[in-house]
Homo-oligomer: A and B are copies of this chain.
């Protein structure tokens, strides 16, 4: 049967979601724990990678086993084994057609920027930025990102396959000196959210006019936006399925 896991993790403690040869990953931590619990080799499939330092509040993965462990029990024993930097928030037994990556229809990322005085206790969880930014200009620039576009400007050089993506919504909450960018799309290219946030901040500080975002997109050239915001502020917030 197929199990679906939903989880949070602190990306500061992992070299990304995906298993690596040397460094500790979320995938390896989970697979090692599940292999011990099921007493058979377990391979998990995530909804997608997250990079080193990137956090998750709603990452999803699936795996198969011929053994049935009731979800509540599995959640409890798995959480004990993976404590403290990953927490499973939900376990479900799902249809065999469910696939964590292929069945995903939308993903939501949040990116948190603090314009308050630097606080070392929040280093891993925010991008700290100066406060000389114009929020209304950022909001104007954000409108150019929404919709269906060829995001080739934000793709790796020589990226294979389509670079067309649809951004369903891109909003900004501002409260107590914390800017939370919320972006929902049908898919994201590698580093795309971090490049977009970086550009929005440059618009905010007056380095570009908001309308320049449209030009950058139309240029379809990675060199037009050679900026990537720190992974520390990025959260995979939710993966949506039908």
Taking Cβ atoms with an 8 Å cutoff, the residues of A that contact B are: 8-10, 55, 57, 79, 84-87, 89, 117-121, 123, 125
Contacts of A120 in B (CB 8 A): 8-10, 84-87
> In the complex, A10 Cα to B126 Cα: how many Å?
14
> In the complex, A85 Cα to B119 Cα: how many Å?
9
A-B contacts, 12 listed (Cβ < 8 Å) = A8-B119, A8-B120, A9-B120, A9-B121, A10-B121, A10-B123, A55-B121, A79-B118, A84-B123, A86-B120, A87-B118, A121-B125
CB distance from A5 to the nearest CB of B (A): 14
Q: Give the interface centre of A8, A119, A121, A123 by most chain B CB atoms within 10 Å.
A: A121
> In the complex, A125 Cα to B84 Cα: how many Å?
12
CB distance from A201 to the nearest CB of B (A): 19
> In the complex, A55 Cα to B121 Cα: how many Å?
8
| A89 closest partner in B (C-beta) | B117
| A79 closest partner in B (C-beta) | B118
CB distance from A125 to the nearest CB of B (A): 7
> In the complex, A61 Cα to B114 Cα: how many Å?
28
> In the complex, A123 Cα to B85 Cα: how many Å?
7
Q: Indicate if the CB atoms of B87 and A8 lie closer than 8 Å.
A: no
CB distance from A29 to the nearest CB of B (A): 11
CB distance from A227 to the nearest CB of B (A): 20
Contacts of A84 in B (CB 8 A): 120, 123
Contacts of A89 in B (CB 8 A): 117
Contacts of A10 in B (CB 8 A): 120-121, 123
| A86 closest partner in B (C-beta) | B120
